[in-house]
Amino acid sequence: MDRHPASHHFRNGRPRQGERRPAMMNPNPADDYPLERYDDYLGTQDMTPRLADWLHPHVGPNAFSNEAVLRQPGGPVIALTRRPNMVVVILPRSIIGERTLEEVTYNIKRDLLFEHLPEAQDEVRRGVLDMGVLVQRAVADRHPERMIHWALHFMFGHIQRLSRTGEMNMFGSAKDDIDESLDRVSAVRLWASCMHGVCVVLDAERGLGCSDEILGHIMTFLEGLFQDVQNLLGGWQTSVLFEAFAGAFRTTRVDLVDQLYRIWDRFDPDVQDDIMHGIRTGLESNTAEGRAHRMYRALQQRAMGLTR
């Protein structure tokens, strides 16, 4: 019997009234990041918030492209069709919840890819960007592999769509997932862990970096998410997410810095103290001009009243 019979009958990839899309992460694994890192109550949880249409290649109306598969099970290697202005992005085989994703590829315009993920330029070889090394590096940094795979699918799915249509709406479905969920705490916990993974992937020192445009999308979503995390999950979880976000933040635009200050000013004083302590602790592992230092200086200036 189908565990989620309603999930196969969503109109246009969205649920009818009263229907609920199943969560794509395993609800009870011992190593599941959303529960262990964003839950003060480690008992059995009802992980049933809907995830965005971009979560999985076979979910939603804008399904990811999977036409450039490198290998077929039991068959010969299929050569990639390369075009000078395109980059083929390869995501290694992964497991998300109860679903196994075989090796997946995305085809993205080269200039667009390098504009939005600037650190990717150093990783492209002969028109191919293999994400296996980044996944291994993130796992070595003690980030859950499942979370990193999810973030990579999320980011490259949206950038491929931007490459094809010129449109990007990264978090419209995510906001709906939280607002329409019957269990807001679980939905917030799930998206907090997902955004943690996105920030790890976009870290400038250890990841792909990101453009001001993508950072603007992320910060707009995080303005609301941080408040939910603080109110529903707690101060420690807020600090964990903010420290991950600090790795992706950039101070290149005044409006982004102003947005940072709006987020910061809404935190409780004890949360601000925890965040500053966490950033100071991590400074030893960063270069003098690293993102952590720039974030720390920006927040210090705010605390000292040196900003408008």
User: Residue 12: CA atoms inside 13 Å, Cβ hemisphere, count?
Assistant: 0
pTM of this prediction exceeds 0.75: no
Residues whose CB is less than 8 angstroms from the CB of residue 182 and which lie 6 or more positions away in sequence, other chains included: 20, 48
Distance CA(207)–CA(217), nearest Å, equals: 18
pLDDT digits (tens, 9 = 90+) for 243-270: 889 888 887 788 988 999 999 999 999 9
The answer on pLDDT for 293 being more than 80 is no
Distance CA(303)–CA(299), nearest Å, equals: 6
pLDDT digits (tens, 9 = 90+) for 160-170: 999 999 888 89
Q: How far is CA 23 from CA 71, 183, 193, 224, 285, in A?
A: 29, 12, 13, 21, 36
pLDDT digits (tens, 9 = 90+) for 152-197: 999 999 999 999 998 888 998 888 989 999 999 999 999 999 999 9
- Closest residue by Cα to residue 208 from 250, 248, 253: 248
User: Residue 209: CA atoms inside 13 Å, Cβ hemisphere, count?
Assistant: 17
- Closest residue by Cα to residue 174 from 159, 192, 160: 192
Question: Residue 44 is encoded by which pair of tokens?
Answer: 């059995």
The radius of gyration of the chain's CA atoms, rounded to the nearest angstrom, is 20
The answer on pLDDT for 101 being more than 60 is yes
Provide the pairing of β-strand 86-91 with 128-130.
parallel
